[in-house]
Amino acid sequence: MFAMVLSAIAPIDTAPLQATERPAPEPEHGEVRVRVACCAVCRTDLHVIEGDLPALRLPIVPGHQVVGSVDRLGPGCRRLAVGQRVGIAWLRGTCGACAWCHSQRENLCPTSRYTGYHADGGFAEYATVAEDYAYELPDALDDVQAAPLLCGGIIGYRALRRACVRPGSRVALWGFGSSAHIALQVLLHWGCEVYVVTRGAARIELARALGAAWAGRRAEDMPRAAQSAIIFAPAGELVPAALEHTEPGGAVALAGIHMTDVPRLSYSRHLFNERDLHSVTANTREDGRALLLEAAAIPIRPEVTTYSLGDANRALQDLKHGRLAGTGVLVVG
């Protein structure tokens, strides 16, 4: 099969993903093999490639927003069928036995495993996944529309919960990439008033076009303080400002898997009056199932730019340098 493989940590501008022919993987017990139709790119892929996350396995095939059809069943599979359309997301395995797994918080499992990080992902013609961690996809979402939901969508949805968003409330989104532009569509469906703080002119324009009540570069220009906020940009320096522009009793969620250091906070200025600061760590499968059902009902329509699989380096370069409004999706074949 054709795959884009990372053999050594390096800046994405050096095009470190190499086009490689390798045997298609065989599904192990409880796994299915998926013939990949497309795979969305994600900032987490950049963190893996550039070493912001410690390298756990090299060489590795990145990619964890995978859409395709079941091509082969491993021993013991009973839920899925050959030909069935499924999605593969970031979370690919947990122990199922620890206190976190038994309390509906499997995202905190200390032995959790992730697609495109612990095991090969979707920048390839075939990928495998445990049957229990594959998502059945609603017919209302086509392949390219579904792919960005499998990380950006799911993480954004969990971030809404961690930010304690209530229907009809005022919500500020800091940074406006793939995840945020999906979260905005969920928020509008919930009747929220949404403010977007982002630097790029194209992203400001997209936020307004999608229905944001306000979008701009300076938080000081927001019409009012938010009741909830989510920081999607991997920039710790935004945390004090987000807290300052959140009302007393509000919550700020940090949606990134990696973030630069957070500056010193003032208790009285940033946290007093019961402002809460919550991190987001991966997701549970329930988050994924809930988001996909809501996405089909709304329906969510991600803004996408498509690339061929062989152009994975270019897609990730465009992501890093802010040339993507919405999500980049690698199309296989």
Helix or strand holding residue 196 (H, E): strand 193-197
Q: What is the mean pLDDT of the chain?
A: 97
Token pair of 67, please? 């859409």
Residue range 65-85: mean pLDDT, rounded:
97
pLDDT exceeds 90 at position 88: yes
Using 50, 70 and 90 to split pLDDT, how confident is the model at 234? very high
How confident is the model at residue 54, as a pLDDT? Answer: 94
Q: Where are the domains of the chain?
A: 2-149+283-331, 154-279
Percent of the chain exceeding pLDDT 90 equals 97
Using 50, 70 and 90 to split pLDDT, how confident is the model at 41? very high
Using 50, 70 and 90 to split pLDDT, how confident is the model at 333? confident
Using 50, 70 and 90 to split pLDDT, how confident is the model at 18? very high
Q: Cβ–Cβ contacts within 10 Å for residue 209, how many?
A: 11
**What superfamily does domain 2-149+283-331 belong to in CATH?**
Medium-chain alcohol dehydrogenases, catalytic domain (3.90.180.10)
**DSSP letter assigned to residue 288:** H
What gap in Å lies between CA 189 and CA 293, rounded to an integer? 13
pLDDT exceeds 90 at position 49: yes
How confident is the model at residue 95, as a pLDDT? Answer: 97
Residue range 267-294: mean pLDDT, rounded:
96
**DSSP letter assigned to residue 160:** H
pLDDT exceeds 90 at position 243: yes
What gap in Å lies between CA 27 and CA 82, rounded to an integer? 13
Comparing C-alpha atoms, which of 86, 91, 79, 81 is closest to residue 285? Answer: 91
How confident is the model at residue 325, as a pLDDT? Answer: 83
Digit-coded pLDDT (tens) for 162-216: 999 999 999 999 999 999 999 999 999 999 999 999 998 999 999 999 999 999 9
Residue range 5-30: mean pLDDT, rounded:
98
Query: Quick one: CATH architecture of 154-279?
Result: 3-Layer(aba) Sandwich (3.40)
Digit-coded pLDDT (tens) for 94-137: 999 999 999 999 999 999 999 999 999 999 999 999 999 999 99
The pTM score is 0.94
